A and B are shown apart, each in its own frame.
Chain A
Amino acid sequence: MISRVLRWAAVAAVCLGIVPAWAQTDAGLYEAAKKEGTVVWYVGGPLEGMNAIAGQFQKEFPGVKIETMRLVGIAQYQRFMDETGAKKYIADLLQNTDYPSISQLAEDGHIAAWKVPTFDRIPPQFRLKEFAYAQYASTNGIVYNVNKVTPDEVKLLESDWAAILDPRFKGRFSASPMKCGVCYAPVHMFMDPKFKDRYGAAFIDKIAAQKPASYSEVLVTIDRVIAGEQDFTISGWEAAAAVKLLDGAPIRWVFPKPTPEFGNSWLGISKYAPHPNATRLFMNWLMGDAGQIAMEKLYGSKGTLSGVPEQRPYVNDAWYHAPVEYYAVDWKRWDENYHKDMDLWAAALKRAK
């Protein structure tokens, strides 16, 4: 239906000579895209959500099929590089949850520059020159079980990360030593030189002294909060908790000040994409209003495009307090210190036992 309207709109627009910017570019692209017929999308995010988003696109642009292939983080980088080295060009669009990987690919010239029409509406921290764009952002928070944490305690936790050092929380929360982006973001912030006195390694030691339980798989951390095995976890983030909340799980989350937020799903077009036009069409859509709305509706994470109406259902609930003070990650330091910081973090959690 929408597609038919679009097609007529395109035809009408050409006839009348008054064409909105998006249609001007996309109409030509769409024709070329249909000839290619397919986009092979190497997906790093959750498959179910991404498939739903791709499905929405296919509804709007019939004739262009999105084939998703889930390859996570570094595995995707390596697979893409292995294939490129062997001149097996399969991937069109990459979606990688690891920023350093995508920036490395861009730096080495494997990513095609493509300025999406909505370029100016994407905040600078969510784009990498014209090479890559974060499809959605991850926001770290404390995820708690509503039956285990009192409203007073929630208030306390909301105030500052340092609140977790309160004696009453000893032995009640969990954390994950897993090496992943969302797991690292809070640690990255704690280890920020500008927070040397506020947090730093000493803060991490104090967390360990609170005897948190640690689970190697970050999602198990949230699962154990849902089950009531742990009262709350400091290794949580909104999108993961939201999925469970929507299933009816007895959890909520707060954003302690400052709240780390970072682009967590970087889209970049392969320089060797076998279907370049279809891929650009899809990219435009993903980073445009329709794609961002579809993403928030179907997957529930926070979009990166500014000026898009809020779609996340829980945002209007009384308990929900949007982050007050954001903390933006420093990708250079992220890249340099990731391993070192996470080792420190993991060692501290291990000491906690």
Chain B
Amino acid sequence: MIRRLAWLTMAACVVFVAIVPLVYVIDAQFYRETRVGLANDRSLVAFVDVFSSAEYLGFLANALVLAGVVTVLSLLIGVGWALVIGRTDMRGKRTWDTLITLPLYLSPFTGLMAWIALGSEKTGFVNVVLMAVLRPFVAQPQPVFNIWSYAGVVYVMTLFFCPLVYLFTVGSLRGMNTALEEAARTSGASPLTVVLKITLPLCMPAIFASGLLVFILGAELYTIPGIIGSTAGFTTLPWRIFQDSTAVPVHRAHAAAGGTMLLLITVVGVWLQGRLTRVGERFVTVGGKGFNGRPLSLGAWRVVAWLALAGYVVAADLLPFGALLVSSVMKYSAGVITAEVLTSKHYAMFFTTQNMLGALWNTIFLAVLSGAVCVVVGFLISYSELRRPGWATKGLAFLAVLPVAVPGLVYGLGLLWTFLRTPLYGTVWILLLAYVAKFLPYGVIVSRTGLMQLHPELSESARMSGASAGRTMLSISMPLLKPTLMAILFFVMLMSIKELSASVLLYSQDSEVLSVLTWHYMDNGDYQFAAAIGFVQTLIMMGVVFLAQAIFRVRLDRAFGRETPA
């Protein structure tokens, strides 16, 4: 009874925080637009325009195609790394693990600035260096790389999303029962066949979930495709939504309708994931038999894997972070670095900027709290959905996922309208609600894949040992899913620290956060200072994540009674 009541309370909170704003968003498209917002009278103009005009459908198609291409590439690379790290005898896994996930610490805009500095046709560092190298051999070397192109967008976005795929698949690969692979090996399958026919199919829920998330995030992202796309000559729906909602005259209803369109994409994606859930039994990889971690031997392939990983690290970490570091000590953008363009003032500025400390504190506070809430509530929602399937639990899991694809610009407004009349407005708590609503879907989707790979008998046996449902969840399911839960915590914390588009709509003078503060400077065109901030922000994120994980891990261990055996 108490359990049901607690569940109902949680469900009510989730619906209120996540769904009421969505209702506002959906509703907003049915108003007449004025040049500064929405009129009071209803109109179908925006709805019809967005959902039926070739223009908007074209933008949608562009976004979907781009997201599709990026998803496929990210999956190939991300799952590849997850296999190498999670399944083989590659050495130095801990280091590689950090290096592979490092790009997550960059916000898309900061990363883009780094790549503009690196990959611009005439002045990009990469081109300048390559042309200098080529000059003795080629009469007139042409720029090798041009970030201001479709390929450039795909490249930058793929580098951004690989770590996400990796993060959400490596856990399930690590936890996999090797007996399944060994059985295949003893039936005469080659290691490659085992990976393709056994390992990867068993990992399908995790792979599908991370693919879904990348696709949705890729379809929702406006910065990278927007800024490069307008130069390269293509427009995606999120960029149009950004323009519709920020440039005068605004097209608020159009933006809302565009947001609804992206919402529908999520619905389809989640429905597909649900189809997978239904055949969930097939994917149980953490059975009750216990796993042993004997990895596949790479043999001579180790060199190949090492080289591939090293190449990736250069492309995804060394170049952008290097460019960021270089930019941050430059007075202004330049393709060639000379002594006279160097300065350390941006780092000094970081510490003298007004409100920086307050913003920093708010950011850390929000990141830790939203991370913890998304892990716990996301897990609870998936847990009740999978272990007690019914219309209520399934419905909640479905609803909680919906905000994922609605651009923060549109969703933030819905949140603002929802909480405007509450005392939460103007406080830091509204930002917390925004982050929870926006990132809870990751908690739900990713913990669902984890749970799907867990044999139900593992928790049933705890019930038979006298543990209540809650106790079972705490002592059995959550500890078994620890890698997955930690990945969610890590990811949500980073997303919270980087979140901008909704924060900018919801922050107030008393609740500033780092991302908004830095955006104010970036918006002013001071990209060098922005680079310094981006760099410091990365360091802060690493510190926060490290600390929170350490604390959370200890807590998890203590709470779940991992005493040493007598």
Which residues of A approach B to under 8 Å, CB–CB? Answer: 40, 46-48, 51, 67-70, 72-75, 77-79, 81-83, 85-86, 88, 90, 98, 100-101, 104, 177-180, 213-217, 219-220, 222-224, 226-229, 240, 243-244, 247-249, 335, 338-339, 350, 353
Contacts and interface: CB of A to CB of B under 8 A. Distances in A.
A74 B505 CA distance: 11
B354 A51 contact: yes
B334 A226 contact: yes
Nearest to B512: A69
Contacts of B243: 179
30 contacts: A40-B509, A46-B524, A48-B520, A48-B521, A48-B526, A73-B246, A74-B248, A74-B250, A81-B37, A88-B420, A88-B425, A90-B426, A98-B248, A101-B36, A179-B248, A214-B231, A216-B227, A216-B231, A216-B239, A219-B525, A220-B227, A220-B525, A223-B525, A223-B527, A229-B122, A244-B332, A248-B340, A249-B331, A339-B249, A350-B233
B417 interface: yes
A69 B231 CA distance: 32
Given A46-B524, A179-B248, A226 B354 contact: no
Interface SS of chain B: loop
A215 B233 CA distance: 10
Contacts of A338: 248-249
A228 B335 contact: yes
B116 A220 contact: yes
B134 to A, nearest CB: 19
Contacts of A224: 120, 333
B61 to A, nearest CB: 17
B508 interface: yes
Contacts of A48: 353, 520-521, 524, 526
A194 B223 CA distance: 38
Contacts of B508: 69, 90
Contacts of B122: 228-229
Contacts of A226: 332-334
Interface string B322-342: 000000000111110000110
Contact of B521 (A47, A79, A214, A227): A47
* Chain B interface category by residue count: 35 or more
Contacts of A40: 509
Contacts of B333: 223-224, 226-227, 249
A69 B355 CA distance: 11
Given A46-B524, A82-B417, A248-B340, A73 B248 contact: yes
Interface string B447-486: 0000000000000000000000000000000000000000
A353 B233 CA distance: 7
Nearest to A46: B524
Nearest to B516: A70
B185 interface: no
Interface string B481-518: 00000000000000000000000110011000000000
A162 B416 CA distance: 47
A49 to B, nearest CB: 8
A185 to B, nearest CB: 13
Interface of B: 35-37, 116-117, 120-123, 148, 226-227, 229-233, 239, 243, 246-250, 331-335, 340-341, 353-354, 413, 416-417, 420-421, 425-426, 504-505, 508-509, 520-521, 523-527
Given A75-B505, A216-B230, A243-B524, 20 more contacts: A48-B353, A48-B521, A74-B246, A77-B36, A78-B250, A177-B230, A179-B248, A180-B247, A215-B231, A217-B227, A222-B525, A224-B333, A227-B120, A227-B333, A227-B335, A243-B525, A244-B525, A248-B332, A248-B340, A350-B233
B334 to A, nearest CB: 6
A270 to B, nearest CB: 14
Contacts of A240: 525
A145 to B, nearest CB: 10
A101 B248 contact: yes
A187 to B, nearest CB: 14
A1 to B, nearest CB: 22
Contacts of B233: 350, 353
B147 to A, nearest CB: 11
A70 B500 CA distance: 14
Nearest to A85: B420
Contacts of B354: 51, 68
Nearest to A54: B354
A220 B35 CA distance: 27
Contacts of A79: 416, 505
B420 A229 contact: no
A229 B247 contact: no
Nearest to A245: B332
The 4 closest A-B pairs by CB, nearest first: A219-B525, A179-B247, A216-B230, A249-B332
Contact of B247 (A178, A213, A244, A350): A178
Contact of B227 (A67, A75, A85, A215): A215
B247 A228 contact: no
A263 B486 CA distance: 52
Contacts of A214: 230-231
A47 B504 CA distance: 14
Given A70-B520, A77-B36, A82 B335 contact: no
Nearest to A68: B509
Given A78-B37, A104-B36, A248-B331, A47 B248 contact: no
A239 B226 CA distance: 25
A227 B525 contact: no
A155 to B, nearest CB: 25
A243 B248 contact: no
Contacts of A83: 420
Contacts of A81: 36-37
B227 A82 contact: no
A86 B248 contact: no
Contacts of B413: 78
A216 B226 contact: yes
A136 to B, nearest CB: 14
A86 B334 CA distance: 48
B326 to A, nearest CB: 13
A353 B239 CA distance: 19
A351 B353 CA distance: 42
Contacts of A228: 122-123, 334-335
Nearest to B235: A350
Contacts of A78: 36-37, 250, 413
A72 B123 contact: no
A128 to B, nearest CB: 16
Nearest to A91: B509
A67 B509 contact: yes
Contact of A82 (B120, B246, B420, B524): B420
Contacts of A75: 246, 504-505
A162 B112 CA distance: 34
B392 to A, nearest CB: 33
B152 to A, nearest CB: 13
B527 A213 contact: no
A132 to B, nearest CB: 15
Given A47-B524, A179-B247, A223-B525, A86 B420 contact: yes
Contacts of B523: 46, 72, 219
